[in-house]
Structure 1
């Protein structure tokens, strides 16, 4: 791992919060079926009400901002560049095989979160620590 860490990059969907467009549409559809009709804008606004958004405002980067998505390193390199941090001082928290591959290709350490749908074996590899409980994250970052 690296020392010191200057930037931790979180994959949002599946790691931090289900915020991707597909998840938003799913929230709208399921909500309507349960009698809680919401628009996409209302679902996104509720994300802001969690209090989490203020910590990430201006620091959320999307694959739409780069030429190639994961497993290419473009998105993580873009995030590091925008935040003014060298890739070697970054740690990426990811829950997908292609996301972990992108982090490695960017020259960043990867913390592979296997507490969701992705099997741990898909996340294993060089410069990667795999974990399945978010309570382990502070310890892993402290040891990075």
Structure 2
């Protein structure tokens, strides 16, 4: 292994949540008078923290989202997760391989700690992610594309940024990893390569990842 730490994004990389959450986000924004298609939600918000949604809506419309927006959205998302959410195919095998080889890993997500935990419990990934290796944009204040979250994760894990590799599936996540001075590989199961400019390489299936990360 040529890296000392593997940092996973969560949504779309560990849990197959992006189709669920972006469908609900587009519908909720449209309901509130900000017409948004699923494709626009993926383009504008995938991989971002909640504050970015508020900022873009205000920037484009001059209007503030309601104070209960986050709570209502998360309630809808968590209910859908309980009914539909699954782990990304092959990711458990990747985690088993890293653990077996003694390679440290963690998750650094734009989602809240509650969102991460709800998804992990539903999919069984909670057995692979102890609290001390779960990092959220809530921990740093500024989400991706700021490098703060990835730098925070590396610092807490005791690894220099240049010795870290990030596994991402969003444009904002790739930008954040590059800004943090880390190598990043783009997962293209949902996002085409051209949307992940700057990634060191690309893969479309989790069974490809162990070979990519090996020397």
Q: Give the TM-score normalised by the residue count of structure 2.
A: 0.53
The residue aligned with 1:12 is 10
Match status 1:123 vs 2:196: yes
The separation in 2 between residues aligned to 1:136 and 1:7, in whole angstroms, is 18
CA drift of 1:17 comes to 1.2
CA drift of 1:119 comes to 1.8
CA separation of 1:49 and 1:99: change in aligned 2, threshold 3 A: closer
Once the two structures are superposed, what CA deviation does each residue of 1:35-84 show, in whole Å capped at 9, x if it has no partner? xxxxx99x92x833654212211211000111311001000000000000
CA separation of 1:132 and 1:69: change in aligned 2, threshold 3 A: same
Q: Is the 8 A contact 1:124 1:130 kept in 2?
A: no
CA separation of 1:113 and 1:6: change in aligned 2, threshold 3 A: same
Query: More helix by proportion, 1 or 2?
Result: 2
Q: Is the 8 A contact 2:170 2:196 kept in 1?
A: yes
Q: CA RMSD in A?
A: 2.7
Counterparts of 1:1-144 in structure 2, within 5 Å, are: 4-18=2-16, 21=74, 23-28=77-82, 44=118, 47-48=120-121, 50-57=123-130, 58-116=132-190, 118-125=191-198, 128-143=200-215
SS at match of 1:61: strand
Show structure 1 runs of 5+ residues with no match. 32-39
The separation in 1 between residues aligned to 2:13 and 2:138, in whole angstroms, is 19
Q: Is the 8 A contact 1:61 1:75 kept in 2?
A: yes
The separation in 2 between residues aligned to 1:90 and 1:47, in whole angstroms, is 23
The separation in 2 between residues aligned to 1:80 and 1:98, in whole angstroms, is 18
The separation in 1 between residues aligned to 2:122 and 2:141, in whole angstroms, is 32
SS at match of 2:128: helix
Aligned residues: 128
SS at match of 1:15: coil
Once the two structures are superposed, what CA deviation does each residue of 1:87-125 show, in whole Å capped at 9, x if it has no partner? 000000000000001000000000110112x22101132
Q: Give the TM-score normalised by the residue count of structure 1.
A: 0.76
